[in-house]
Amino acid sequence: MKYTLFGESHGPAVGVVLEGVPAGLALDMEAIQFDMSRRAPGRNDLSTARREADVPHIASGVFEGRTTGAPLCAVVENTDTRSKDYERTRDLARPGHADYAAHVRYGGFNDYRGGGHFSGRLTAALVFAGAVAKQILAQKGVTVAAHISSVYGISDDPMEELEPLLAAQKKDFPVLNDEAGQRMQEAILEAKGDLDSVGGAIECGVFGLPAGLGAPGFGQNAEGIFSQYLFAVPAVKAVAFGAGVAFGLMRGSEANDPLYVDEDGSVKAEQNCAGGINGGITNGMPLTFEVTMRPTPSIARQQFTVDMAKNENAVLELKGRHDPCVVHRAVPVIEAAAALAACELMGV
Amino acid sequence: MKYTLFGESHGPAVGVVLEGVPAGLALDMEAIQFDMSRRAPGRNDLSTARREADVPHIASGVFEGRTTGAPLCAVVENTDTRSKDYERTRDLARPGHADYAAHVRYGGFNDYRGGGHFSGRLTAALVFAGAVAKQILAQKGVTVAAHISSVYGISDDPMEELEPLLAAQKKDFPVLNDEAGQRMQEAILEAKGDLDSVGGAIECGVFGLPAGLGAPGFGQNAEGIFSQYLFAVPAVKAVAFGAGVAFGLMRGSEANDPLYVDEDGSVKAEQNCAGGINGGITNGMPLTFEVTMRPTPSIARQQFTVDMAKNENAVLELKGRHDPCVVHRAVPVIEAAAALAACELMGV
Amino acid sequence: MKYTLFGESHGPAVGVVLEGVPAGLALDMEAIQFDMSRRAPGRNDLSTARREADVPHIASGVFEGRTTGAPLCAVVENTDTRSKDYERTRDLARPGHADYAAHVRYGGFNDYRGGGHFSGRLTAALVFAGAVAKQILAQKGVTVAAHISSVYGISDDPMEELEPLLAAQKKDFPVLNDEAGQRMQEAILEAKGDLDSVGGAIECGVFGLPAGLGAPGFGQNAEGIFSQYLFAVPAVKAVAFGAGVAFGLMRGSEANDPLYVDEDGSVKAEQNCAGGINGGITNGMPLTFEVTMRPTPSIARQQFTVDMAKNENAVLELKGRHDPCVVHRAVPVIEAAAALAACELMGV
Amino acid sequence: MKYTLFGESHGPAVGVVLEGVPAGLALDMEAIQFDMSRRAPGRNDLSTARREADVPHIASGVFEGRTTGAPLCAVVENTDTRSKDYERTRDLARPGHADYAAHVRYGGFNDYRGGGHFSGRLTAALVFAGAVAKQILAQKGVTVAAHISSVYGISDDPMEELEPLLAAQKKDFPVLNDEAGQRMQEAILEAKGDLDSVGGAIECGVFGLPAGLGAPGFGQNAEGIFSQYLFAVPAVKAVAFGAGVAFGLMRGSEANDPLYVDEDGSVKAEQNCAGGINGGITNGMPLTFEVTMRPTPSIARQQFTVDMAKNENAVLELKGRHDPCVVHRAVPVIEAAAALAACELMGV
């Protein structure tokens, strides 16, 4: 299964083509809309004020309610755009944003309005694709679930079982520990008050994967496959599996998962330090990882930058509606990327 | 340019086929051997006692001293193998190692001796490929250099300029701060004395890349491309670009790199928090990242595990010669992976 | 540059996403529409009576009239569908069509109306993609042009120079020799009168390609790259380069192109038997090939077949509007496939 | 499963790395050697006088007689090279050969001796890969078999059933009709006597493939997948499926295969005009195709050409040992390419 995104933040729509969807799947549109809404903007003051219904329209690949096996194209309209906000600062590269790199890459022809194709808006289409992937995985007993693991240094409880994650998915602010979540939200609102933004991290698990998927080689190892999908999500700057960066602080005797035969005869690891992957191959434990997301680069504060047209220094004061934090809205996006990666790993 | 590894730890040889090497390159075999030797085992008591000369033999793709453009195959012989060390524990999965996952994946037919194709031994061939890639990059003004950034929590100085890194490459223990390096080595020897191992991290920079390489989409973004190569290196469990996991602790006003026009008219970022990449595209600053490497899973301590043949619990006491830490030997390996990734990004 | 088609014959639309389009191209929509119209149905009694305007709508990737470098999505609406024609014969596999193979492949869930995603209708989107590719190639001095080389055994004059081909492109029935074209049309109408269809062949040239593109290996040779695009066109069953199947009747002394240095110092081949390709690499001569297209499988005659629902023999009398020959409408489709292949070969 | 070839005609060896070989396969080395020998040179006066034993050495991926799932590398040594034959004509491009195109592509750095990496010698490694693929297919009930369908216009009987093809495989000159084969051999020897060469064609069938493999899209259709492998074989210039170029002479009522339910309940096509493929998907009938192979370009006759060093016209009189026809030796090569393609189609 391959996905191809298209669209721009201020174009008519964003969309996705999914190739290789198994035929005969009765799409649960309600479940898809649930994930779309978890990501949708404009729901509260933690997110951008742009309001989008984010209802996907299916243009192909579904017939009489079931997937046909042909490419599935879904389109999500853009309805609430204010392009004029971007006119004035068109030539001023937003620090931390793709503006300057894209300007060089595309010779200045990229659509600058709202970040164009670089906008987080594209993740609406990605969430659609992921929601379809989740339904395919569900038929194979595989579930993907994530939570906010930290915002601006404030940590949620660590993820352990699937159930509490499924409960967290239903929350407006998807954490395991609501008290920590409360403090995270305060940090976000405080940053917003300061015309600033904050970063954070998302922890995700893929539960139910069988052992023996993947291979050690380039392009085949489970970590490489997942990272390819995860780094395609805007703002992700780090990907860590299992114990992740903590491995650097460990001894082998701590990091090695003692193995044992469980009551049902299956082989298990005691701690799952490896995040379900050894030698690039799944080991039957939940596949776990954490991604770090940078703070939203679009902030209203005065910033020093360059005028790309004049190639001279400039000062930027940004208008427009921006997210003071994207971590909470990105939870279903990371799940989507993980679900697509899991499909690849399972040979879907 | 694509690389394909082959070989096993205790087979006759390991090797690599490099496709797409530009024709006409006069291979600097001395530079290649330099990198091979940096990785080679048996040089001191910080590494495994297995001794290998690691001299690559070129089987194709070079004619009259220059690359022909045809696939370049290089073979590195295995000369110092002791396969009988592995006989006794053949059915006992080493915790933290790929043994169990590989057993499931390959139905028990994988070569268990010394880890077979999963062995770090394969990185000898990868270093060869990377050394060729470095010579291609050098012609384009691009240099890759890495250092040990930490071992068991002991940190080296942060990487800033290229020159000190090139100096570090020549050291037996490649750090910027030798005093910190001394403490790292003590930690490694202490772990070794405890029949244990330690993890760590490597920081790497790609200097001289032009702005405008990569694209935002899946499979095209610079982070995704690099991560694909880096996670193909055994023991790498986390990859972080620029400020990496620290982005999660930051505000936008800290994480956004103020841009300015440099004296030569080029656009620069003040801090390079982004690690040279915005929106998946290079921005002209050095591309920087850090990888975390897990502690060597093969340790001589008694460990609890399973007997894969009998599917029952077991106790493992491993013989064989093992590295108490792979971080220092992995520095040229990470450089190799980065050099191959940089070639892909540059369209080589 | 990669293309991804979506849509079904009787769905709301067909479309294409083109990734990797160079930024800054001022799209000539008139030239695009010219190719769209050459392929469009309903223009005369040689084609299906279904009438479609085939005006492409651009959904992304173009801003202020120029390509942005982001994925370019174009949609072509379906307006003249008569799905009820297909209800009655839903379970009867049309011999020669994909119905049975698709039924097995997709478990009966494929959209059967008008052939669904298997319909020649999808080539409308392919022609759009090819028209964009042609504009990219034009900037590099490369032109793609094709003509009907035969219908039902009646042959056109062989292709030699570019100019007559460009003149043929403007004809309703694109041949070099109009007298031969007249006889071809009579053969088509005669078949139509007999409730039958006819096959034929299309010869195509890519003019202006430099020498030295491609490589001998799998997935890299020019013939392999072109064939991949050409066999993705419905009804193409054979692809032959240069002298093609006539090579089997030749001696080396006939087939070898004597080389000479032309007045401008360039190396040329006297006959271009090789079709511009030696060893998988372009040699600077026009790249030429011929594709054979099978007769339209949908014919109104009584045919013996199977009822897929009952798994028993059946007799089919097809309703619906069908092309008695697709060769003339397929000329811009083959050009499109060739233009996309040429872009890949040129590294676009 | 992916294959990567390496080596040159006059280098130390040619070889192949096969990635993705299923683990646990007990390699039948005798069957592999049988195919190697069918292709090997120097067996009689119909082929080049170069004599090679063509015994493959396995360098990795096999342990205790069975495949391990790790990359399988096999090496075939070059023992009978006469490189000095090529010294004198080093700068003279052989007409019809890759010399000139390769010279441009690789800036003159390609290994010219015996055609270097462009040599048919590389097909020794391809036959090895194909022989492994055949053993994988055999476990799934799939058999690949080919025969010479024509040489210099002299045709063999058409292929129909598997059994006579298996009998032909055992012949020195693999045809169905030995009388026709006799005349073909005479044509080859006659050409040889004239210091010339001849072309021909090979017809191949893949028997036992289930219906429902492949998909209509680019890169997924069965014809496209097969053509990719077939055009990677040197000298192949045309690929035609089923009725092939004869489709251009047909009406739909002739070309459409009437379908029927066979005694065992399976759906069959009466004639198999489609060559086992409809809409890019297998239909359960044997997959059949024919490839046309150009006459060997290396002939001893005087030929007009260019001196690539001086960029001026020249006359070539070639020394060296050459095949007056490669068609008979290419039969196992085409089988190998088909076997690898069939593995891809089956998801191996």
pLDDT tens digit string along C39-83? 998 788 888 888 888 999 999 999 999 999 999 999 999 988 887
Which helix (H) or strand (E) segment is B189 a member of? helix B178-193
- pLDDT value of position B228: 98
Query: Could C217 and B347 be called an inter-chain contact, meaning their C-beta atoms sit closer than 8 Å?
Result: no
Q: Which secondary-structure segment (H or E) carries C146?
A: strand C143-151
What SS3 class is residue D255? helix
Confidence at residue B85, expressed as pLDDT on a 0 to 100 scale: 75
Residue D81's nearest CA partner among D14, D163, D149 is: D14
Q: Residue C33: exposed, middle, or buried by beta-carbon count in 10 A (0-12, 13-18, 19+)?
A: middle
Q: Is the pTM of this model over 0.90?
A: yes
**Contact at CB, D71 and A217, closer than 8 angstroms:** yes
- From chain D, the residues in CB contact with A20 under 8 A are 215
Question: What is the rounded CA–CA span in Å between residue D282 and residue D10?
Answer: 41
Mean pLDDT, chain C, whole residue set: 95
Contact (Cβ atoms closer than 8 angstroms) between residue C207 and residue C291? no
Of the options 3.60.150.10, 3.30.2350.10, 3.90.700.10, 3.40.30.10, the CATH number for the domain spanning A2-345: 3.60.150.10
D87 is written with which tokens? 């010294």
What is the average per-residue pLDDT within C291-311? 96
| Full DSSP string of C172-231 | SS--S-HHHHHHHHHHHHHHHHTT--B-EEEEEEEESPPS--B-SSTTTSHHHHHHHHHT
Q: For residues B34 and A329, what is the distance between their CA atoms, to the nearest angstrom?
A: 48
Interface residue of B1, B19, B348 to substitute, partner C, most C CBs within 10 Å: B19
What b/e string do you get for C62-93 counting C-beta neighbours within 10 Å, with b at 16 or more?
Answer: bbeebbbbbbbbbbbbbeebeeeebeebebbb
Give the nearest partner residue to D295 out of C217, C252, C305, using CB atoms: C252
Residue D149, phi then psi, degrees to nearest 5: -90, -25
Residues of chain C contacting residue D250, judged by C-beta atoms under 8 Å apart = 152, 198-199, 294-295
The pair of structure tokens assigned to A318 is 């940004």
Provide the 8-state DSSP code for A129.
H
Which tokens hold the place of A17?
Answer: 């083509």
CA D260, D263, D267, D271 torsion: positive or negative?
negative
For residues C47 and C334, give the distance between their C-alpha atoms in angstroms, rounded to a whole number.
Answer: 17
Q: Which two tokens stand for residue D290?
A: 């024919």
* Among candidate residues D278, D172, D184, the one with its CA nearest the CA of residue D223: D278
Chain A residues lying within 8 Å of D217, measured CB to CB: 19, 71
Nearest-CA distance D265 → chain C (Å): 7
Q: Quote the percentage of chain A above a pLDDT of 90.
A: 90
Do the Cβ atoms of D71 and A19 come within 8 Å? no
CB-CB neighbors (< 8 A) of C61 in chain B: none
Chain A residue with the nearest C-alpha to that of B264 = A311
Using alpha carbons, list the distances in angstroms from residue A279 to A225, B98, B99: 13, 5, 8
pLDDT surpasses 90 at B53: no
Mutation for B interface: D17, D18, D58, D126, most B CBs within 10 A: D17
Distance from CA of B64 to the nearest CA of A (A): 31
**pLDDT recorded at residue B255:** 97
Count Cβ neighbours within 10 Å for each residue of B32-42 and write b for 16 or more, e otherwise: bbebbebbbbe
| Alpha-carbon span B111 to B103, nearest angstrom | 10
Q: What is the pLDDT of residues A233-254, one digit of tens each?
A: 999 999 999 999 999 999 999 9
Residues A179-193: what's their mean pLDDT?
97
Q: Which of A2, A17, A87 to mutate to test the interface with C (most CBs of C within 10 A)?
A: A17
Residue ranges with strand state E in chain A? 2-7, 13-19, 56-60, 62-63, 66-67, 72-77, 143-151, 154-155, 200-207, 236-241, 259-261, 267-269, 277-278, 281-282, 287-293, 303-307, 312-316
CA distance A337 to chain C (A): 19
Residue D312 exposure: Cα atoms within 13 Å on the Cβ side: 1
State the pLDDT at residue C41: 84
| Closest approach of D26 to chain A, Cα-based (Å) | 21
Q: Which residues pair with C316 in a beta bridge?
A: C303
For B44, the token pair is 């001191």
Instruction: Collect all residues of chain D within an 8 Å Cβ-Cβ radius of residue C269.
Output: 95
pLDDT category of residue D152 using cuts at 50, 70 and 90 = very high
Q: How far is CA B269 from each of CA A94, A300, A325, C108, rounded to the nearest angstrom?
A: 11, 19, 23, 57
A181-205 burial code (b ≥16 CB/10 A, e <16): bebbbebbeebbebbbbbbbbbbbb
pLDDT at residue A39, as a whole number: 94
DSSP state of D19: E
Give how far A164 is from chain B: nearest CA, Å.
23
Distance from CA of D107 to the nearest CA of B (A): 7
List residues of B whose CB lies inside 8 A of any D CB: 4-8, 11-15, 17, 19, 23-24, 59-61, 63, 66-73, 75, 105-111, 116-117
Beta strand segments in B23-80, E: 56-60, 62-63, 66-67, 72-77
Question: What six digits make up the tokens of D306?
Answer: 């260019």
Q: Is B10 helix (H, G, I), strand (E, B) or coil?
A: coil
Q: How confident is the model at residue A107 (pLDDT cuts 50, 70, 90)?
A: very high
Q: Which of D19, D215, D217 sits opposite A217 (nearest CB)?
A: D19
Q: Which of C179, C182, C174, C184 is nearest to C150 (CA)?
A: C184
Write the pLDDT tens digit of every residue in B67-115.
999 999 999 999 888 877 778 889 999 999 999 999 999 999 999 998 8
- Residues of B with Cβ-Cβ distance to C216 under 8 angstroms: 70
Confidence of residue D182 (pLDDT cuts 50, 70, 90): very high
Contacts of D343 (CB under 8 A, 6+ apart): D1, D133, D136, D137
Which pLDDT belongs to residue A133? 98
Place of tokens 């401008």: C264
Identify the residue among C91, C117, C226, C237 best suited for mutation to test binding to D, counting D beta carbons within 10 A and taking the highest. Answer: C237
CB contact at 8 A, B129 and D46: no
Those residues whose C-beta lies under 8 Å from the C-beta of residue D220, and which sit 6 or more positions away, are: D214, D280
List strand residue ranges (DSSP E) for A152-235, in order. Answer: 154-155, 200-207
- CB contact under 8 Å between A237 and B242, yes or no, is yes
Nearest to C218 by CA among A80, D125, A240, A116: D125
Rounded Cα gap, residues B1 and B18, in angstroms: 7
Contact A180, A171 (CB under 8 A): no
| Residue of D20, D69, D217 lying closest to A19 (CB–CB) | D217
Tokens linked to B238: 């986390």
Q: Does B116 contact D59 at a Cβ distance shorter than 8 Å? A: no
CA–CA dist B247, A235 (Å, integer): 10
Chain D, nearest residue to C123 by Cα: D217
Share of chain C above pLDDT 90, in %: 90
Token output for D52: 């090679």
Tell me, what amino acid is at A121?
A: R
Tell me the average pLDDT of chain B. 95
CA distance A145 to chain B (A): 20
Q: Are B293 and B237 in contact (CB under 8 A)?
A: yes
Query: What is residue A251's predicted lDDT score, i.e. its pLDDT?
Result: 97
* Residue C275 banded pLDDT, cuts 50, 70, 90: very high
pLDDT tens-digit series, residues B110-135: 999 988 999 999 999 999 999 999 99
Q: Across the C/D interface, how many CB contacts are shorter than 8 Å?
A: 357
Helix (H, G, I), strand (E, B) or coil at D311: coil
Quickly list DSSP for D179-201. Answer: HHHHHHHHHHHHHHHTT--B-EE
Subunits adjacent to chain D (3 or more Cβ pairs under 8 Å): A, B, C
Mean pLDDT lowest among A34-43, A198-207, C138-147, C335-344: A34-43
* Distance (Å) from the alpha carbon of D344 to chain B's nearest alpha carbon: 18
Show me where the domains of chain B are located.
2-345
- Torsion of the alpha carbons at D73, D78, D79 and D80, rounded to the nearest 10: 160
B143: which strand partners? B207
Predicted pLDDT at B116: 93
Task: Check D70 against B15: CB less than 8 A apart.
Answer: no
CB–CB contact C4 A11 (8 Å):
no
Tokens linked to A267:
């082989």
CB D235 within 8 A of CB D329: no
More confident residue, A36 or B42: A36
Crossing angle between the packed helical segments D123-138 and D327-345, to the nearest 10 degrees: 50
Q: Residue A295: name the closest of A5, A127, A94 by CA.
A: A94
Tokens of B152: 């068991």
Mark yes or no for CB contact C247/D261 under 8 Å: no
**Distance between A255 CA and the closest CA of chain B, angstroms:** 7
> What is the pLDDT averaged over residues C111-115?
90
